[in-house]
Amino acid sequence: MSVEQKSWKPTNKWMAAQCTAVATLAVSWVNAGEWNKPLTIATIGLVSQAVAAYLVSNADPATEASGADGPVGTPAGNGRVSPSGASVQTTAA
């Protein structure tokens, strides 16, 4: 079993989400005209969301635990599922 060292550097996806959240807070502040209690509440929510998203891994915990190459429970047919929910069988040419 190999141990992979993970970086503490935030992912680009995390950074993009934080930019969007901070921009939304700034627009709300401009619309409100002054800092108020709802903006403080929104800031607390923004910070707690950012911390939680940073601490939780993007990887599927089921595949990390099992060491499997693909997602657990992938249906037959290369993951293709019909609108009714049944697996779609495909034939490769």
Q: What is the pLDDT of residues 56-76, one digit of tens each?
A: 877 776 665 555 555 555 555
**What is the Cα gyration radius of the chain?**
21
Is 31 domain-assigned? Answer: yes
Its pTM stands at: 0.57
DSSP letter, residue 87: B
Is 69 domain-assigned? Answer: no
Selected residue with higher pLDDT from 82 and 19: 19
Residue range of the domain that includes 53: 12-57
pLDDT tens digits for range 18-57: 999 999 999 999 999 999 999 999 999 999 999 999 998 7
Is 28 domain-assigned? Answer: yes
Selected residue with higher pLDDT from 13 and 72: 13
Is 46 domain-assigned? Answer: yes
How far, CA to CA in Å, does 86 sit from each of 33, 49, 72, 73, 90?
Answer: 54, 36, 17, 13, 13
